[in-house]
Structure 1
Amino acid sequence: MNDDDIAPKLRTPAVSPPKPLPHPQDPVEQEFWQRCQGGTLHFQRCGECRTWRHLPRYMCARCGSPSFAWEPSSGRGRLFSWTVTHQALHPAFAADVPYVAAVVELDEGVRMATRLTGADPATLALDMPVALAFETIGDGFRLPVFTPAAGA
């Protein structure tokens, strides 16, 4: 079988392109990613009602206040939902399949779409404890991901 017999999406590229990086246009989203580059995960917290929020935004969804501060996350949470991806939708991820695309609910109460690394997909379970890690992609860009917590 040669490459002509394999569907283009299933072909492994000879040279893998770099993984795409976030390119936020909004300053509040840019600040989220800049804080990640320091190796810590921060979320906005309302200055009025103290509600945590993610995705970053200019007004609190609970009380409507524009007041907020960036506060560090504990980096701990639980697996809320996941899917095992067996087909790379971008050639840069071909070497990673299968991988786990997940939604993690952090101790702060926010939910975050992410990748779960270092886990056997057959062992995943709802509410499995997870911990923050950072994966370096591109030219030193730090992407927040999660791994099973010790003892999980």
Structure 2
Amino acid sequence: MTSTTSDTPEPLRPQAGPVPHASSHLSVPFWRGCQAGELRYQRCGDCGRANFPPTEQCRQCLSAELRWERSGGLGDIYSWTVVHRPVTAEFRPPYAPAIVTLDEGYQMLTNVVGVAPEDLAVGMRVRAQFHAAGPDVTLPYFTGAP
């Protein structure tokens, strides 16, 4: 346990660690959406299911009829943890990786920031925000939603 000089825990913050990149043509619309301040995901034109991360075929029915849609950016925490001992020095602890279930029906692995670690909970409402992590990369993260 680490002691602090304050009784008020510091809210979690965006990280400046390793930056992902659009390694596949399939993910380019997602990353462009992040740069525009919006979450984008695929939806199947045949079965209607949300599809994320992007693929060439629907995970549910294997249709290739996938179209990009914009998410409202609201969801619930499905699962989370607080990391106090990162595996790389590029990440400053504590930070909270989480799986968020978006209202559109897909899940996303992300970070939750702006919330004290002890206030995180399964089912907590969160909303997407964006952090410019580099000249060509904007990362989504989530904060508490009203």
TM-score, normalised with respect to structure 1 = 0.80
Counterpart in the other structure of 1:125: 121
Counterpart-to-counterpart distance in 2, 1:136 and 1:25: 18
Q: CA deviation at 1:140?
A: 5.8
Moved over 6 A (4+): none
Counterpart in the other structure of 1:50: 48
Q: CA deviation at 1:34?
A: 2.1
Unpaired segments ≥5 residues, structure 2: 1-15
Question: Is the CA contact (8 Å cut-off) linking 2:38 and 2:70 kept in structure 1?
Answer: yes
Counterpart in the other structure of 1:114: 110
**Residue 32 of structure 1 aligns to a residue in which SS?**
helix
RMSD: 1.4
Select 2:95's aligned residue among 89, 94, 99: 99
Higher relative contact order (CA 8 A, sep 6+): 2
**Residue 91 of structure 1 aligns to a residue in which SS?**
coil
Q: CA deviation at 1:89?
A: 2.1
Q: Identity over the aligned pairs, expressed in percent?
A: 40
Unpaired segments ≥5 residues, structure 1: 1-17
Q: CA deviation at 1:58?
A: 0.5
**Residue 90 of structure 2 aligns to a residue in which SS?**
helix
TM-score, normalised with respect to structure 2 = 0.83
**1:3-152 to 2 correspondence within 5 Å?**
19-94=17-92, 97-139=93-135, 141-150=137-146
* Bigger radius of gyration: 1
Q: CA deviation at 1:119?
A: 0.7
Q: Deviations over 1:41-63 (max 9, x none)?
A: 01000111111110100001111
